[in-house]
Amino acid sequence: MVPGRPLFASYREINAEEGGRSEVKGIKARLKRVTEYDNRISISAMAGLQLVLIVVWLEIGAHMPTGLGLWADILFCSLVAVFGNAAIFLAGYVAAILLACIPIRLPRLLIGTAAGAMLIIPKALTQMNINLKGAFLLLGSLLITGIVIGLIAYIAVVKLLNTPERRRMTFTVAAVVLAACWFILSDFQSLQAAFSKIIETDSEEEEQWNAYAPSAFGSYSVQTFTYGSGTDLRRKEFGSGAQLISPSVDASGFITKWNKVRTLFWGFDPGNLPLNGRVWMPEGDGPFPVVLIVHGNHTMEDYSDAGYAYLGELLASRGFLTVSIDQNFVNYSVYSGIPGDDYALRAWLLLHHLKFIDEFSHANNNLLSGKADMDSIALIGHSRGGQAAALAAVYDSFFKEAGKEKKLAHIHYPIRSVVAIAPTDKKLENKYIKLNDINYLTLHGAKDSDVTTFDGDRQYDRVSFSRNSADYYFKSSLYIGNANHGQFNSSWGQIDIKLPLRWLMNTAELLSEQEQQVIAQTYISAFLETTLLNKTQYLPMFRDWRRASAWLPESTYINRFNDSRMLKVATFEEDSVKETATLKNTTIEGSELQMWEEQDKKNRQQGSRFNRAVLLSWGDRKGSFGIQLSRAAAKQLSSSSRLIFSLAHASTSALQYPMDFSIRITTVQGYIVSQPISGFRPIHPVVVSRYLNAGPLSDYIKGGKLNPSTEAVYQDYIIPLNAFIGKDSPYKPSHVAKIEWVFDRTTEGSIFIDDIYLQR
């Protein structure tokens, strides 16, 4: 500000001070002096603001990989930051020129730069799961932070660092603070994992136990190679580096949308899609069970197929011919969108990979000759790949029923097992996928901020088994309290979704990537050995995760289990009458309950889980819920029989205290025995998912779906009926007349119960 001149002044007054020049000449003079009120203080503030803007632009660029390699991505990010800031500076200068026409003395360039940023950046941020209002709020707070940083830097330079001694002391303190910040922000779990490799176990017994861990490498040496088109423009391993040349396939008959930019990038279109795969194969004569792994919808240019090497190597060492399928060309791209019918396309491609493996296994003189057992197949999928795996298992029948002949693959192989890792469960052709007589395993993390609801549990409920089948099938689910979406793939990492800044994601509560992958290795390996190799030693861990606790990292686990030999008692799907059960001649009754009704299950967004359960509430330690069995059903029971049911909290108030109740059995002779449920296993606490560190901004990110929330997740309780037999007890399981849930141990509560079965 010019000394003695008021803050506001008319052009005429300013012209008079400047020698009586004409008004037009005065305006021109002022335009030449746009920055006259931007002194050292405001320039320092603007430097801090520009520093913050560079970080924002780099973050935007990092979410737009080019697919052309690391250096190309670095160059692209740098160009985004340079041109983005240049655009803001240009817009800021234009704004400063406009401010020069207003008779007010302000740091015009600083204000103009901030205005330019608010004009340009928020729209770009809306492409990263934050709405426009949230983008303005976030950017405004960042701009203020940048200005404060610039002012602090100015004060430090001018006031604090005016002597050599002060400069040395300040730099020393800054170095210590930065080192402390780095240590605090480091991944302690990763550090601990690194140190744990150095520490040898003191217990020989523990070493022997861990040798049986499903995540331990098996006895087979592993051969690794790739197959592909041999002409791939982007992936050398599927181009000139492919050891087997696979045919292309024509999906043009049903793909409804395919951007020309996608063709330009990949070099092919829907008429000649490649079959690319990474193979981990046991060295030996074979044939080996075939396991295909397929990734989900990650950014197309950030390749996903190599992220399952930790699974491929383990499974091959334990006797499975394992292939990670490349479907990156089906994924979303910032530049070309996503193909139409991508769910069907993912499953359709899986079937064509099976056909290729089958043909080459039956041919001579190639790496796959005689190696594939096509009567023993499992499909593993992650995210959309998890739904694709389920769809592929029933592909032609699903689309034939929908009347979509163009989508049929006309490829039929017996899929024995499906593993779905954090799968989607989208309605296709106006219906959902149902599986029958297929083994099914699903894993999901409570900190999954991509697929935020436990959709694999919905598919679990739609897996059925034929009565009196000669073959044994089972299904199981595992909900993991500290797992996210991305760390099941080594390429995806801790950040599940695009965000304006990565520190908005709450990663402090996550398991490390290594720990999360150990869980996947443990359960998937055990599942495949049980279902494809007919081994039974790991079956108990699917009934109760605690049987595998020595092999798992510390976290909260919730699991379900059901098999083809269980007797269905009540699933609450049979009708709308709450007193009727599924099992013939079996009735349901309730007494002194505050609430007893059948309801649709809800997910954390209050969407339907498409499955009914019974909601029970009680108070004052009063109330009971019972199943009255027929004599014919009871006579099927023996000392090895079990009661099985699923239980979930119906209220977050369960956070406040542990819950307990009794299981009471009455025999036909009137003899009563009772045990607390906590004696078999404690009722698990409610799992709260806190996805973000965004505070008030959470409401504007992903439509508020990432606010802290809970979900009704069902834990199965498997209770041996012989556990009620006491010394000199006249009780016998075959004499059971009534089984009751008696709410006499906790003052009040509210729970869901579902899927009541008896194992004969």
Strand 749-759 vs strand 608-618: parallel, antiparallel, or unpaired?
Answer: antiparallel
Identify any residues that bridge with 567 across adjacent strands, giving them in sequence order.
758
Mean pLDDT, rounded, for 144-160: 81
Alpha-carbon distance 447 to 709, whole Å?
Answer: 10
* pLDDT tops 70 at residue 589: yes
CA separation for the pair 183, 185 (Å, rounded): 6
pLDDT confidence of residue 159: 65
Tokens of 387: 């739904």
* Averaged pLDDT for residues 32-52: 79
Residue with the larger pLDDT of the pair 682 and 521 = 521
pLDDT > 60? residue 479: yes
Number of other residues whose CB lies within 10 A of the CB of residue 104: 12
In 10 A of CB 208, how many CB atoms? 9
Integer angstrom CA distances of residue 516 from 502, 521, 601, 661? 20, 9, 28, 33
What percent of the chain is predicted at pLDDT more than 70? 88
Is the CB of residue 642 less than 8 Å from the CB of residue 682? no
Helix axes 342-362, 384-393, angle to 10 degrees: 60
Q: pLDDT digit string (tens) for 406-451?
A: 999 999 999 999 999 999 999 999 999 999 999 999 999 999 999 9
Angle at 386 between CA 251 and CA 62, to 5 degrees: 85
Characterize the bridge pairing of strands 415-421 and 321-326.
unpaired
Residue 582 has pLDDT above 70, yes or no: yes
Q: At what angle do helices 70-100 and 108-125 cross, to 10 degrees?
A: 130
Positions of E strands within 489-594: 557-563, 566-570, 587-591
Name the pLDDT band for 29 (thresholds 50, 70, 90): low
Give the residue among 102, 103, 124, 117 at the shortest CA–CA distance from 46. Answer: 117
pLDDT band at 11 (very low <50, low <70, confident <90, very high): very low
The pTM (predicted TM-score) of the whole model is 0.88
Proportion of the chain in helix, strand, coil states, percent, rounded to 5: 40, 20, 40
527/477 Cα distance (integer angstroms): 11
How far is residue 258's CA from residue 267's CA, in Å, rounded to a whole number? 13
What is the rounded average pLDDT for all residues in the chain?
Answer: 87
Q: Is 422 helix (H, G, I), strand (E, B) or coil?
A: coil
Distance CA 329, CA 272 (A): 12
Which has the higher per-residue pLDDT, 99 or 254?
254
Q: Are 675 and 663 in contact (CB under 8 A)?
A: yes
pLDDT digits (tens, 9 = 90+) for 213-248: 999 999 999 999 999 999 999 999 999 999 999 999
pLDDT of residue 2: 46
Contact of 413 with 390, CB cutoff 8 Å: no
Distance of CA 534 to the CA centre of its chain: 30
Give the per-residue pLDDT at 110.
85
The pLDDT-based confidence of 656 (bands split at 50, 70, 90) is: low
Q: What angle do CA 521, 522, 528 make, to 5 degrees?
A: 80
Please work out, in degrees rounded to the nearest 5, the angle formed at the alpha carbon of residue 676 by the alpha carbons of 675 and 681. 115
Which tokens is 562 given?
């059901």
